[in-house]
Structure 1
Amino acid sequence: MHLKIKITSRAYVSALLLLASLSAHAELTAYHSSNVGLVYSSVSDVTWTKDANLLGSMIKSRGFNTLINEIIAASPIITNTPNQFSPTGDYALTSADFSAIKAGHATWFGAMAFTSYLNSINYGGAANWRLPFIATTTFGYDQPTNGVNAGDEYHELFYRELHHVEGSPWEPYIPPQPTIYFDNEELRDAYWTSTENGYDWPAFGVFNGPQSAFIFITELAAQGITFKNFLISTPTDSIGNYVWAVSPGRIAVVPEPDRLVMLFAGLGLLAIAKRRTQ
């Protein structure tokens, strides 16, 4: 009898914990869906990939040529506002848009293609992955839209949810540190956003159209811009920007088979226990 009660209690607790994990809500909520890690942001109302360098991780596990060929096959053409890099607005993707030296570096076109690839494989059970937005199209640190309306999604993550504090002239600057929520955070580099920018670079001449895109510089927790085709790879080094994808809202959980078994087993034992007490 004692053993039956113990088993029933364990199943009951397991069921409650699983149900709680499916409905938990906080500023940042880490969870799993379709066997991958996700983190929901209640401030921006978006879901981030738990792996902050998912492209790099996939390249390392699948191999550069295999993965990049799949990405290009899924999105051979990237459509953007016409500019000098793609005068018609259609950019033909190549393997040169990805770094074979530093796994995870890509041009803006490669970053856009990677999010399309995640949609094609229904990553995490979602098919609307994209690059984060920038709403306040200025350069610098903590932006005025934070906490007012969603839009500067990197700033909302770093300042509102990870509680990074902007440095002052009187205090030493402390760069962002790794967190318990994410893996492979590239905190000495920069990430692409989906927001285009038409700023003219006088040193390079005057260009027509948005040839640049906003980036978020993690080491400074500030936003800036760079050319969409920016990626410099040499035989020994690579200079570029990383990719971090978000999906609007909270992705519905697709439980893994073993968790479903635990849930149904727990609910079944609860039903048996209830029947025996009647």
Structure 2
Amino acid sequence: MPFDVQDLTLRLGDTTVLNGINCRLPEGGITGIIGANGSGKTTLLRCLAGVLRPQSGRVYHAGSDIAQLAPKTRARRIALLPQTALAPAGLTVQQLVARGRTPWLRPFQPMTHGDHAAVARALTDVGMTDLAARPLDSLSGGQRQRAWIALVLAQDTGTVLLDEPLNFLDLPHQTELVHLLRRLASVRSVVMILHDLTIAARVCDHVLALKAGQLVASGPPAEVLAEAPLRAAFGIDFECLSLPGSGKPVVLPQGL
């Protein structure tokens, strides 16, 4: 399994953001993290990446305590795309995506043929080949999001962490990205924060639900994206329905 989280507690100042999190994430597939704003989703994702160090507890990735891994080793294992990513002004799409190869570059050596091939594959996967020479700051929000995802793909890790990757994408590009993530999840582990519970129900293989820094539910979507666990996570009632014919799930707050 990619992650084994043991009694994870993290405080920022006087605030306990994560409180005694224990969970195991399955190898491969897509794990979704859900919860209301301020529930600790992004903090947990950053702890999984080794960016934040907890006050107590441990995070193991593939059997290794990530706190003991060198930064380059972690970056070769785990790629993180934060919700708000920044790049220098004037950087082109291709230059941005090439930065994903940084953990694999030898000191003071240029990119190899394999590095360039990884960048080209990533651009193709997100449909950005034709925009490779465009400055990143000239693109729409959805195009920029796809460029950042290409950077993560170029990093070529076995585990990918994504903080709300569907933000800024219109419905066609959301659909394309979901299909891409499903393809990726056949060969690597994907962990992502989602707000759309219906999408989570349809694409995730495993779901974690947080509330106020505590894990309130963990397991297959059919178990976590149900009325009682969702009420515990969000404090409101939900209707969990199936579409006639297809049986595909739809999750809606009651009253909508």
**Structure 1-normalised TM-score?**
0.27
Rg larger for: 1
The higher-RCO structure (CA 8 Å, 6+ apart) is 1
**Structure 2-normalised TM-score?**
0.28
Give the structure with the larger strand fraction. Answer: 2
